Structure 1
Amino acid sequence: MPSTWQPSAWGKVLTRSGNWKLALHGDSVTVTLSGVAIVTAVENFDAVVVTRGVFWSQIRLEVGEWVSRLYGIRSKDAAAFERAFAATLEALQLRQRTAEIDAAAQRASLG
């Protein structure tokens, strides 16, 4: 599974998507739009919505008031991003819950 995604050559032309790249690394996502990179923690996303088309899909990312719509990605690549993002978020939440349980157990053993 790739850790970076971008519009396909045909998707770029036919959807007029422009230049963008999406990268998932660790617990953060980098969206590069026309050479400008925006890095956001996975847990800070309010919504990640993949709308699948027959050939190309759209990914909508929302963080607070910032919304980005990424067009022209092949549908199978958009599905791969959606799965990778969900798995990353789930793993992060599991680590956070484990840390909370460990902290509570530590407090209980001290008390």
Structure 2
Amino acid sequence: MPPTWQPSAWGKALTSSGDWKLALHGDSVTVTLGGVAIVTAVEDVEAVVVTRGLFWSQIRLEVGEWVSRLYGIRSKDAAAFERAFAASLKSLQLRQRSAEFDAAARRASLD
């Protein structure tokens, strides 16, 4: 089961955040808002901005013109999402560079 994040019960009640959930799985991130899932490739996310508050934080995801602001998440959970997203993106970029290197090495050995 992929890691998921959502607002805490108190955060949901006190910030009027609504019902949302974030999930990272493979090379994609899923934002579920009111039961509707929006799946985006990790590499297509232009910005992840975590604004930390005293008790709860806000996560803002930007994908093209689509911006999602997710309120009411515990600050430590928001930080965990930020770290997990960064690790997922770094892993993807490493795999892409490795594939490019392998392709270049194959071309060089054919010459």
TM bin, normalised by shorter chain, reads over 0.9
The residue number in structure 2 matching 1:59 is 59
Runs of 4+ in 1 over 4 A off after TM superposition: none
The residue number in structure 2 matching 1:80 is 80
Deviation at 1:67, TM superposition (A): 0.2
| Aligned-pair identity (%) | 85
Deviation at 1:106, TM superposition (A): 0.3
CA RMSD of aligned residues (A): 0.8
Q: Which amino acid aligns with 2:52?
A: R
| Residue deviations 1:69-88 (CA, integer Å, cap 9, x gap) | 00000000000000000000
| Residue deviations 1:8-44 (CA, integer Å, cap 9, x gap) | 0000011000000000111100000000000001000
Q: Which amino acid aligns with 1:100?
A: E
The residue number in structure 1 matching 2:103 is 103
The residue number in structure 1 matching 2:37 is 37
- Structure 2 unaligned residues grouped into runs of 5+: none
- Structure 1 unaligned residues grouped into runs of 5+: none
Q: Which amino acid aligns with 1:75?
A: S
Matches of 1:25 and 1:100 in 2, distance apart? 23
Output the TM-score relative to the length of structure 2.
Answer: 0.97
Q: How many pairs align?
A: 110
